[in-house]
Structure 1
C-alpha cells in the first residue's frame, strides 16, 4: 500500500496564543472529530487560560501556504511524581497520516525537555484506537490512570520518558 507523502519538512511549527483564530479553529475541528469517535469533545478538560502560566505551551503547525495544519499543547501535571511531568493536550492534525501529528508531537517533546520536563503523560479514550496506536508508535506506553481519569474504564493513559534530543528547527 503506498504511503502518503510526508509533509513535515514543509511545516512551520511555532508557539501561539491558544485563543487565536487559527488555534481555536483547529481545536473546534478536533472537538467535532472527537465527538464522532467518543461521544464527547474533550474540551471540558482543557482551559486555554492555563497555558498562560509558566512551563506551558500551545504549538501550531502551518503548511507551506501558511494554512493551519495541526496543533498540540503541554501543561504542568502536578502530583505526578519526582520527575517533572507535562500533560499533553489538544493534539490534532488536519490531514492524518501525512506526518503532521508526528512533527507536532516531536516539537512538543523538544519543548517539554527545554522547559525542564522529563516525561509526558496523556489521556485518551479507549475507543479512540487511532490515537492510541499513534502514541504507541511514537514510544508512549500504558501507565496507570492519573488525576480525574482514575476509575474511568473508558480511559487509557499513556506516558513517555523524555531523553535529550538534538535540537532541530521547527521551521
Structure 2
C-alpha cells in the first residue's frame, strides 16, 4: 500500500508577468517503509515537491494523498496538525533557532503537541544522544559545526515520531 500518492500534481508560480511551472503532472507512489530519493538538476522542482508533500505549500492543481488523507483539501488548522503528527522535516539550511540550545531546538516541536516540559527534555536528550551529541546539548547552533547542526536537525525531525521524513 502507498503511503504517498500524487496524481497530476502541478505547481505554478507567478513572478511578475512570468509564469514558472515548477511541477507539471507529477504522478508518484511511495510505499510505506521505503526510502525514496528524488533527483534532478537545480530548479527542477525537487524542493517544491517536498514542500507540497509536507503541506508547506499548496498545489496549483492535482492531488496529494498521504496515508489516505487528501493534503490539499485540509484547512490551515488541519494542515498544521498533519505537519506535526505526520511529517518530520530536515531543511537544507537546517532552520535551527539561533537563540536556543541544541536540546531546546530538538524539544521545540513537542511544545505544539502539548508534551509536558520534563518529557520534552527527556525525549530531546535521548535523541541527541542517539545522534552522538549528548555532550553538546547546551550549545547553540553557532557553537556547533555544520555536521553537528545537521544532526540536531535530524533529531528534531524525529522527535514527534513522524510517519514520513522529508529531507
Asked if these proteins are the same fold (TM beyond 0.5), I'd say no
Q: What TM-score does the superposition give when structure 1 sets the normalisation length?
A: 0.27
- Bigger Cα Rg: 2
